Structure 1
Amino acid sequence: MTTSTRNMAATLAAAVALAGPAWAEGELNIYNWGNYTSPELIEKFEKEFDVEVNLDGYDSNEIMLAKVREGSTGYDIVVPSDSTAKIMVDQGLLAEVKPNEMENFGNMNPKWVDVYWDPGRNYTVPWQWGTTAFSVDTEVYDGDINTLALMFEPPEELKGRINMLSDMPEVINAALRYRGYDRCNSNMEELRDVTELLMQAKEYWRTMDYATIEKLTSMDVDLSQTWNGAAMRAREQRPTLAYAYPKEGFTGWMDNAAVLKEAPNMENAKLFMNFIMLPENAALISNFARYANGITGSEEFMDEDMKTAPEIVMPDSAPAPDFVEPCPQEVTDLYNRIWTKLKQ
């Protein structure tokens, strides 16, 4: 082999090495909440674009965020909730893929474009949005369910029959609402009161678990803090369940598809972002997960029961959902201390 031939071979080898592993071709790696991705949606995307989709699951924003911060995850798409999406944008963890310049962006409901976590939608696309409150079996408890008192100062028939989310912001914010205190609260006197409330209420809780559908449908509990879509799925198996709209307030949230800055399959990730902004594809997500989405026209393709479900269609008497932005670090540190004490 001549010197020039050896040099050409070396150059070619270097180019191949820089191109990355061959297995990355034709793949898309999604890291999403568990039991939250429509198999029909994935099958349709795979067939349309000849891309193999690999799916992994997590059960909290904190777990996903910690893994992404470690780096080299191999994932392309993640699905953070609004406050976590804000953190990820601010910390430079997401790719600025410009969904607002994609072909299907015109389908996005205008009310979900200029959102606090991604003004103008340079990074994220709606996945599902909903509320967090609780479901209760109305055969076990037949009183007024629209109050947070059922979780924090429950009647006798619900004591020991309650599941709370293993989610620090949701549990602490619910306690703050019940006491009438502001969110992202650093008032030490008020936080001591909330801590005392939580510690007393814990005596009446059976579990703290994200598996709310399973907890309710197995009859393990009669009340569970949960999300509205999960509440609907649980009611389909346990018809006596009802979803509450507490008078003291409840969380509103949106989960968003986003592309990681280090995504190994960047172009396939962009294809997927554009794909889920088509109304018929957004409807596939909603029909499976049982939440609303942010895509105009998707209602036309939704299951009929989604259009009238009490968990999806809020009554006029319900207060507006409370979207909570990320708290300052000093407040988060205070919450972490409360949470650590509560989980001991």
Structure 2
Amino acid sequence: MSLNLLKGVAGAALTAVAVLAAPLAAQARELVLYNWSDYTPPELLKRFTAETGINITLDLYDSNESMLAKLKAGGSGYDVVVPSDYMVKIMADEGMLVDIGVHDMPNFKNVEGPLKSPYFDPERKYTAPYMYGTTSFSYDTGAIKGLEASWKEFYEPREELRGKIAVLNDQVEVINNALRYLGLPLCNESPADMKKVQELLLKQKPFVALYNSDGTHERLAAKEVVMHMQWNGAAHRAKMALPSVEYVYAKEGISLWADNFAVPVGAKNIEEAKIFINWMMDPKNIAEASNFTGYMGAIPAAAPYLDDAMKADPAVVPPEGMDKLFVMAKPCDVKAKELMDKVWTNVRK
């Protein structure tokens, strides 16, 4: 065989390999999602991959602070993270988020209401809304009777609840709602005020079975505890398994929060992350997430796709007038954060 013919055969073989490799390269698109535990419908991720060809790896955390700490410690490889409102502001101010121009994404037109331009990202440069909800506490009405709609029942519980209460492993939620109960300002920089919070939490501690933000709805539904500090969506899921569960709208006020999709600096798959975030703002897709998590999204057009059980549960759709109790906490200054850290360390040691 002549040298030219050999070259022709070799060239054809290389071309064939390249043609075969092209679809394989396209299939290799991926992203890594770092989200709260029990907060992502597995079937939804499978459908995203089927529709886009982008594979998703899911990693989990249980608090904003642990997510932030891992990123700051050099935790890399994450393309999408899900920080809450105040944490978005912290991360953006520290230059930890990529400007992905969410407001220019095609599906952003579906976002309506106050979360279209929130205080923590008014131009929606860094984040798209995922779920929003409230934090209070739930209890089993079959085990406890005649509770007042007050944080007093949680922070100063009845004697029969000793060892039967579960608390979120979340210093911001625990301390902020304690401050509300005590009638003290949030982001408190008074050592005397924060000492009162610490004393309250230490007095509560013998009643606490555990501090844990994972599996809250399973724990309450299984009657491992009879009272649990919970997000309202977790309360809904617990109620679906144990109808006697009731979510409390504490009269002193409760936390309003909003979780968001964002891309951290250092992400390797930014274009894939943008595709995912835009895809999640489709009404049908966000509704599927709502039906799984028990929380509402910021997309009214998702309403027709929501389960009837969600729309009928007062934990998910608050009774009229209860929204006046909702308070969204903003990031605190350094002094207040240091006092919160000190109180939480002393309580948890």
TM over 0.5: yes
Match of 2:304 in 1: 300
**1:59-83 deviations in Å (ceiling 9; x for gaps):** 1111111111233511100001111
Counterparts of residues 48-63 of structure 1 (less than 5 Å): 48-63=51-66
Aligned-partner SS, 1:97: coil
- Answering whether residue 342 of structure 2 is matched by residue 337 of structure 1, we say yes
**1:132-173 deviations in Å (ceiling 9; x for gaps):** 001101121111341101111112332321111111111111
Counterparts of residues 252-267 of structure 1 (less than 5 Å): 252-267=256-271
User: Separation in 2 of the partners of 1:340 and 1:314?
Assistant: 34
Q: Tell me, yes or no, if the aligned pair for 1:213 and 1:231 is still in contact at 8 Å.
A: yes
**Bigger Cα displacement from structure 2, 312-321 vs 256-265:** 312-321
What is the aligned counterpart of 2:93 among 82, 90, 99? 90
Match of 2:4 in 1: none
Aligned-partner SS, 1:112: helix
Aligned-partner SS, 1:224: strand
- Answering whether residue 253 of structure 2 is matched by residue 249 of structure 1, we say yes
User: Separation in 2 of the partners of 1:145 and 1:224?
Assistant: 15
**1:192-212 deviations in Å (ceiling 9; x for gaps):** 222111111112222111131
| Structure 1 residue 295: Cα displacement | 1.2
Structure (1 or 2) with the larger CA radius of gyration: 2
Structure 2 unaligned regions, length at least 5:
1-24
Counterparts of residues 19-34 of structure 1 (less than 5 Å): 25-34=28-37
| Structure 1 residue 317: Cα displacement | 4.1
| Structure 1 residue 40: Cα displacement | 2.3
| Structure 1 residue 233: Cα displacement | 0.6
Match of 1:218 in 2: 222
Which residue identity does 1:29 align to in structure 2? V
Match of 1:156 in 2: 159
User: Separation in 2 of the partners of 1:191 and 1:149?
Assistant: 17
Aligned-partner SS, 1:115: coil
Which residue identity does 1:79 align to in structure 2? V
What is the aligned counterpart of 2:329 among 318, 321, 324? 324
Aligned-partner SS, 1:139: coil
Aligned-partner SS, 1:256: strand
What is the aligned counterpart of 2:141 among 138, 142, 157? 138
User: Separation in 2 of the partners of 1:276 and 1:326?
Assistant: 27
Cα 1:317/1:144, change in 2 over 3 Å: farther
User: Separation in 2 of the partners of 1:27 and 1:60?
Assistant: 25
**1:244-303 deviations in Å (ceiling 9; x for gaps):** 000011100001011122111111101011101111111011011110001120111111
CA RMSD of aligned residues (A): 1.5
Structure 1 unaligned regions, length at least 5:
1-21
Aligned-partner SS, 1:118: coil
What is the aligned counterpart of 1:237 among 234, 238, 241? 241
Aligned-partner SS, 1:122: coil
Which residue identity does 1:334 align to in structure 2? L
User: Separation in 2 of the partners of 1:249 and 1:158?
Assistant: 23
Q: Tell me, yes or no, if the aligned pair for 2:28 and 2:55 is still in contact at 8 Å.
A: no
Cα 1:275/1:317, change in 2 over 3 Å: same
Q: Which 4+ stretches in 1 moved above 4 angstroms?
A: 22-25
| Structure 1 residue 313: Cα displacement | 1.1
User: Separation in 2 of the partners of 1:105 and 1:265?
Assistant: 21
User: Separation in 1 of the partners of 2:271 and 2:151?
Assistant: 46
How many residues are aligned here?
A: 323
| Structure 1 residue 24: Cα displacement | 10
Match of 2:290 in 1: 286
Which residue identity does 1:78 align to in structure 2? V
